Amino acid sequence: MNVRIVFCKPCGYTDRATSLANEILKLYGLNGVKVTLEAGTNGIFDVYFDEEMVFSRYKEKRLPENKEILDRLTDKLHVTA
Protein backbone atom coordinates (compact mmCIF):
# COMPACT_ATOMS: atom_id res chain seq x y z
CA MET A 1 0.00 0.00 0.00
CA ASN A 2 1.49 3.26 -1.13
CA VAL A 3 0.61 6.88 -0.46
CA ARG A 4 2.03 9.51 -2.78
CA ILE A 5 1.90 13.19 -1.92
CA VAL A 6 2.56 15.54 -4.84
CA PHE A 7 3.14 19.08 -3.60
CA CYS A 8 4.16 22.45 -4.97
CA LYS A 9 7.66 23.10 -3.70
CA PRO A 10 7.88 26.73 -4.97
CA CYS A 11 4.57 27.45 -3.18
CA GLY A 12 6.08 26.53 0.17
CA TYR A 13 4.02 23.34 0.67
CA THR A 14 7.05 21.22 1.65
CA ASP A 15 6.45 21.53 5.40
CA ARG A 16 2.76 20.66 5.01
CA ALA A 17 3.60 17.62 2.85
CA THR A 18 6.26 16.33 5.26
CA SER A 19 3.96 16.86 8.24
CA LEU A 20 1.23 14.84 6.53
CA ALA A 21 3.72 12.13 5.54
CA ASN A 22 4.97 11.86 9.14
CA GLU A 23 1.42 11.53 10.49
CA ILE A 24 0.57 8.86 7.93
CA LEU A 25 3.70 6.91 8.82
CA LYS A 26 3.00 7.22 12.56
CA LEU A 27 -0.52 5.93 12.12
CA TYR A 28 -0.10 3.37 9.33
CA GLY A 29 3.62 2.70 8.93
CA LEU A 30 3.48 -0.56 10.88
CA ASN A 31 0.64 -1.71 8.61
CA GLY A 32 2.91 -1.66 5.57
CA VAL A 33 1.91 1.74 4.22
CA LYS A 34 4.74 3.55 2.43
CA VAL A 35 4.76 7.28 1.73
CA THR A 36 6.45 9.00 -1.19
CA LEU A 37 6.85 12.75 -1.52
CA GLU A 38 7.03 14.19 -5.02
CA ALA A 39 7.90 17.83 -5.61
CA GLY A 40 5.77 19.57 -8.19
CA THR A 41 4.80 23.08 -9.29
CA ASN A 42 1.78 25.24 -10.16
CA GLY A 43 0.06 25.02 -6.77
CA ILE A 44 -0.42 21.27 -6.76
CA PHE A 45 -1.17 19.34 -3.59
CA ASP A 46 -2.56 15.93 -4.48
CA VAL A 47 -2.68 12.78 -2.38
CA TYR A 48 -2.90 9.31 -3.92
CA PHE A 49 -3.51 5.94 -2.31
CA ASP A 50 -2.29 3.13 -4.57
CA GLU A 51 -2.57 5.53 -7.54
CA GLU A 52 -6.19 6.48 -6.72
CA MET A 53 -6.52 10.19 -5.98
CA VAL A 54 -7.96 10.79 -2.52
CA PHE A 55 -7.44 14.56 -2.47
CA SER A 56 -6.80 17.27 -5.05
CA ARG A 57 -6.20 20.89 -4.14
CA TYR A 58 -7.48 21.89 -7.59
CA LYS A 59 -10.78 20.01 -7.16
CA GLU A 60 -11.33 21.00 -3.52
CA LYS A 61 -10.03 24.57 -4.07
CA ARG A 62 -8.15 24.44 -0.75
CA LEU A 63 -5.37 22.63 1.05
CA PRO A 64 -6.32 19.61 3.14
CA GLU A 65 -6.26 19.21 6.89
CA ASN A 66 -4.09 16.28 7.98
CA LYS A 67 -6.99 14.66 9.86
CA GLU A 68 -9.12 14.80 6.72
CA ILE A 69 -6.51 12.85 4.75
CA LEU A 70 -6.01 10.37 7.60
CA ASP A 71 -9.77 9.75 7.70
CA ARG A 72 -9.89 9.18 3.94
CA LEU A 73 -6.95 6.79 4.12
CA THR A 74 -8.59 4.92 7.00
CA ASP A 75 -11.70 4.46 4.83
CA LYS A 76 -9.54 3.16 1.95
CA LEU A 77 -7.58 0.80 4.22
CA HIS A 78 -10.77 -0.71 5.59
CA VAL A 79 -12.05 -1.30 2.07
CA THR A 80 -8.82 -3.00 0.93
CA ALA A 81 -8.28 -5.01 4.13
- Taking only the tens place, the pLDDT of each residue in 12-48 is 999 999 999 999 999 988 888 899 999 999 999 999 9
Predicted local distance difference test score (pLDDT) of residue 81: 46
* CATH no. for 2-74: 3.40.30.10
Q: What is the DSSP secondary-structure string of 1-54?
A: -EEEEEEETTTT-HHHHHHHHHHHHHHHGGGT-EEEEEEE-TT-EEEEETTEEE
CA distances from 66 to 72, 81 (A): 10, 22
Task: State which amino acid sits at residue 11.
Answer: C
Residue 60 in this model has a pLDDT that exceeds 80: yes
Rounded Cα gap, residues 8 and 34, in angstroms? 20
Asked if 45 contacts 10 with a C-beta cutoff of 8 angstroms, the reply is no
Residue 50 in this model has a pLDDT that exceeds 80: yes
